[in-house]
Amino acid sequence: MVFAFLPICLTLMGMLDKSFAQWWLGRVRPFKDVVPEKLAAEHEAMHKQQDYNRNYADFLHGAVLPSVDDLVKVLAKNHIIHRVSTWGNQLSLRIHLAWRWGELVIMQSHEDCVTFEHHIITEGDKRGEDSAEDHSHTYDLRDALPAMVANQELQFYLGRLAQDLVEGEEPPEIPPGETSTHQD
Q: Which helix (H) or strand (E) holds 119?
A: strand 113-122
Distance CA 183, CA 169 (A): 18
Distance CA 124, CA 131 (A): 9
User: Which has the closest alpha carbon to 59: 144, 136, 118, 140?
Assistant: 144
User: Which has the closest alpha carbon to 149: 102, 112, 115?
Assistant: 115
- Model-level pTM? 0.67
| 3-state secondary structure at position 164 | coil
Would the pLDDT of 9 be above 90?
no
Q: What percent of the chain has pLDDT over 70?
A: 82
Running DSSP on this structure, what letter comes out for residue 129? Answer: S
User: Which has the closest alpha carbon to 104: 150, 169, 36, 37?
Assistant: 150
pLDDT at 7: 57
132 or 13, higher pLDDT:
132
Q: Which helix (H) or strand (E) holds 139?
A: strand 131-140
Residues 6+ apart with CB under 8 A from 96: 81, 82
43 or 122, higher pLDDT:
43
